[in-house]
Structure 1
Amino acid sequence: MDEHRVGLKPIVGRVWAERGKAPTVPVQHRYQWLYLYAFASPQTGEGQYWLLPCVNTDAFQAVLERFAVSTGAGQEREIILVLDGAGWHTTPLLHCPNGVTLIFLPPYSPELQPAERLVDDHRHH
């Protein structure tokens, strides 16, 4: 499981200028972000994805609960999620659903994240 920010950072500005002169253009910076929450199985490549406007403990809690229901996690099925150490993953305020176990990667080790390898493998095909 991992999150990724996607969005737009448009720079808007227009001005008339004399031919051959470099114009000075006032611009208005704007940001529009969405966050992709992705769950992927390293064995099968199957995935589940959610787009949310933020990344925080409440958003991760909601996505984690929906993931648990959609995968049938519970007494009969145990799901192990490999995660980085982001604060919203490790906070004691997070209540892990029944049937879901969280395993945390060491700090600064994206090469160990199975979800990262799936993205890299997909780019090369």
Structure 2
Amino acid sequence: MGQRPIAEVDHRYEWTYLYGFVHPATGDTEWFILPRVNGEWFNQALQSFAQQVGAGKHKQILLVLDGAGWHTCKNRVVPPGIHLKILPPYSPELQPAERLWRLADEPLANQCFETLDDLEDVLEQRCRTLMTMQSDIKALTILYKPAL
């Protein structure tokens, strides 16, 4: 009486998050495996993405995003050369990157991983594979073909 019992806790789940960026016209992708999905980690993903693609004064990138809370957070820091366009609510069909998730998820389906590191190893290998599949990704993500 008067004391809280001490008990072991099994949180059951650990999480990791895959951030994906795609250039639909070329099929080029950039991937980041990060421990959280929030404004702080999104800022880090944006910064890394900008560095990877060389965004800056001489290379401008229009990045299309859905309205997820971490995409629109108040502490968002947009790197130079990156311009954000937030899509209307409930319009995943307008977001080319949405079509990437089924490809990224393929090696994870019906799998159980002993550790988060095991899961991240499989994700990393899958992302490396997807980065070589530009023609497949282009065909999957391009919304329109510009007139020449």
Q: TM-score if structure 2 supplies the norm length?
A: 0.59
Unaligned runs of 5+ in 2: 1-9, 104-135, 141-148
The structural deviation recorded for 1:33 is 1.5
String of CA shifts for 1:13-58, please: whole Å, max 9, x gaps. xxxxxxxxxxxxxxx7711221000011111111010111110011
Match of 1:37 in 2: 19
Instruction: Give the match's secondary structure for 2:99.
Output: helix
Unaligned runs of 5+ in 1: 1-27
The AA in structure 1 aligned to 2:18 is: L
Q: Supply the distance in 2 between the matched residues of 1:87 and 1:46 (Cα, whole angstroms).
A: 26
Whether the 8 Å contact between 1:42 and 1:118 is mirrored in structure 2 is: no
Q: Supply the distance in 2 between the matched residues of 1:92 and 1:84 (Cα, whole angstroms).
A: 16
The structural deviation recorded for 1:119 is 4.7
Please give the residue correspondences for 1:8-23 in structure 2 after superposition, counting only pairs within 5 Å: none
Q: Supply the distance in 2 between the matched residues of 1:56 and 1:119 (Cα, whole angstroms).
A: 19
String of CA shifts for 1:86-120, please: whole Å, max 9, x gaps. 11111221110000000011001111111123456
Greater relative contact order, per chain length (Cα 8 Å cut-off, separation 6+):
2
Whether the 8 Å contact between 1:40 and 1:115 is mirrored in structure 2 is: yes
Q: Supply the distance in 2 between the matched residues of 1:44 and 1:53 (Cα, whole angstroms).
A: 28
Which structure shows the bigger proportion of residues in strand conformation?
A: 1
Q: Supply the distance in 2 between the matched residues of 1:36 and 1:118 (Cα, whole angstroms).
A: 11
Deviating above 2 A after TM superposition, structure 1's stretches of 4 or more consecutive aligned residues are: 117-123
Match for 1:84 among 49, 66, 78?
A: 66
Q: Supply the distance in 2 between the matched residues of 1:33 and 1:74 (Cα, whole angstroms).
A: 32
The AA in structure 2 aligned to 1:112 is: L
Q: CA RMSD in A?
A: 2.2
